[in-house]
Amino acid sequence: MKLYNTLSRKKEEFKPIEEGKVKMYVCGPTVYNFIHIGNARPFIIFDTLRRYLEYRGYDVTFVQNFTDVDDKIIKRSHEENITPEEVATKYIKEYFVDADGLGIKRATVHPQVTDNIEQIIAFVKELEDKGYAYAVNGDVYFDTKKFKDYGKLSGIKQEELEAGARIEVNDQKRHPMDFVLWKAKKEGEPGWASPWGEGRPGWHIECSVMSNRYLGETIDIHAGGQDLKFPHHENEIAQSEARSGKNFSNYWLHNEYINVNNEKMSKSLGNFFTVREISEIYDLEVVRLFMLSTHYRNPINFSDEILNQSKAGLERLYNAKEKAEFTINNLEDTKMTEEEAKLQEELASFRQKFIDAMDDDVNTADAVSAIFELAKFMNSNITENSSKEFAQKALDEFKELTGVLNIVNKDKKEDILDEEIEKLIEQRTEAKKNKNFQLADEIRQQLLDKGIILEDTRQGVKWKRA
Ligand SMILES: [Zn+2]
């Protein structure tokens, strides 16, 4: 498998540190609000990479943090007159609601900053002891001039940055590029006791500490949105490598931006949507398919028109699956014909196309195309004249590939309403009374196909959903 490594600026063959195992860290959300669609893209993409690695037999340890100490959280807590902890707890819960809707699997560990304060203090202390950090009035800064490789990820040169106005100006820093590791407590802010007085961690340090704590000094993959490359990831590298003297992450992956109606997403333009808002209009599975339909290193445009295309596409896939299931249910148990045996080669080509695409730097766009081609193949080749063996094989293939991307995974069986079930049960009872057992059996089977199980009891017929 090849992955585009931001660090080397080229596609590289993926070789994990330990055979069969992958250690992966993805920067998680700051929990002060609902996640927006820009946040959703890396979560969906890197969840898909994780699922694909697992599909290929890797044992993946996946860490995604929650930033639960931050200026925005403190601000929100003042606005809502609740504690920062309450703000964080609320939005962590909401994150999981959205993540579940988007089909994002739980991380192996979801560490929170507030559970890692002790580790953060120890890490900063080590940097200070090694001469990479300095304390000023209760703040601690990383001395970027001491770390020779500073800028190696983003390719940004210190001089360029210093010339530009892209960095925070602060009299306490030795160099404009230096960044804060520990902040002295201000009035109305949460704080923890430390060797530098009461305070709280800066943003960048948390990922270095949690990655080290849960995955070790060197990991396989560190990923996030393009906007995190600088300064966040650059600073993570500086902190981690200055402390350990080892490579922090072997592969760095970054996804491109999301535009809304061809404009950059921004609050001032009024085109800033949370996942929760979108979920009121579209099933979030549509959003997942939409995100996977473009390669993660290309920008993606979010518009109603394109979402509607994804919606129609998803329906086509569901229809192909349901039609196949229905046909198979009505087929006799028959073996593959000679003609079908020849079609097997074509059937296998879809999986090969899918794997080739995913192996080529997680090209989900081509992987999705392979699934659409397979759906088309099923529509023409699973018929009432098919053998059950062949039809089932094609359907299994479809389920396997859609399973890797975690799409078309819902059983639409619940689509039958309670009233319809009651009505069919009534008809069946009537049929039995009239000794029309064939019709009664047919109705039972019809319900079973929709996942409804009937039970004849002394109190009458009871039913439940499978
Ligand atoms: Zn991070």
389 marked as part of a ligand binding site = no
| Residue 222 assigned ligand-binding role | no
Nearest alpha carbon to residue 94 among 348, 275, 289, 337? 275
- Express each pLDDT in 318-331 by its tens digit: 999 999 999 999 99
Where does the pLDDT of residue 118 fall: very low under 50, low under 70, confident under 90, or very high at 90 and above? very high
* Radius of gyration of the chain from its Cα atoms, rounded to whole angstroms: 27
Say what the pTM is.
0.87
pLDDT in tens, 287-308: 999 999 999 999 999 999 999 9
Q: Does 384 carry a binding-site annotation?
A: no
Contact, 232 vs 240, CB < 8 A? no
User: Mean pLDDT score of the chain, rounded to an integer?
Assistant: 93
Per-residue confidence (pLDDT) for residue 376, from 0 to 100: 98
DSSP single-letter state for residue 32: S
Q: How far is the CA of 340 from the centre of ligand 1 (A)?
A: 51
Measured in Å, residue 67 CA sits from the centre of ligand 1 at 9
More confident residue, 457 or 405: 405
Determine whether the annotation assigns residue 232 to a binding site: yes
For residue 271, report the distance from its CA to the centre of ligand 1, in Å. Answer: 25
Residue 81: both structure tokens together: 């007159």
Ligand 1 center–CA 122 separation, angstroms = 18
CA–centroid distance, 295 to ligand 1, in Å, is 22
The average pLDDT across 209-214 equals: 98
Span 117-137, average pLDDT: 98
| Structure tokens belonging to residue 452 | 């409804």
For strand 258-260 and strand 300-302, is the pairing parallel, antiparallel, or unpaired? parallel
Range in 208-222, 355-369, 418-432 the model is least confident about: 418-432
Contact 414, 451 (CB under 8 A): yes
| 388 is known to lie in a ligand binding site | no
Where does the pLDDT of residue 265 fall: very low under 50, low under 70, confident under 90, or very high at 90 and above? confident
Q: What is the pLDDT of residue 416?
A: 65
> What is the pLDDT at residue 201?
98
Return the C-alpha torsion angle 115, 29, 14, 241, nearest 10.
Answer: -50
Q: Ligand 1 center to residue 28 CA distance, Å?
A: 7
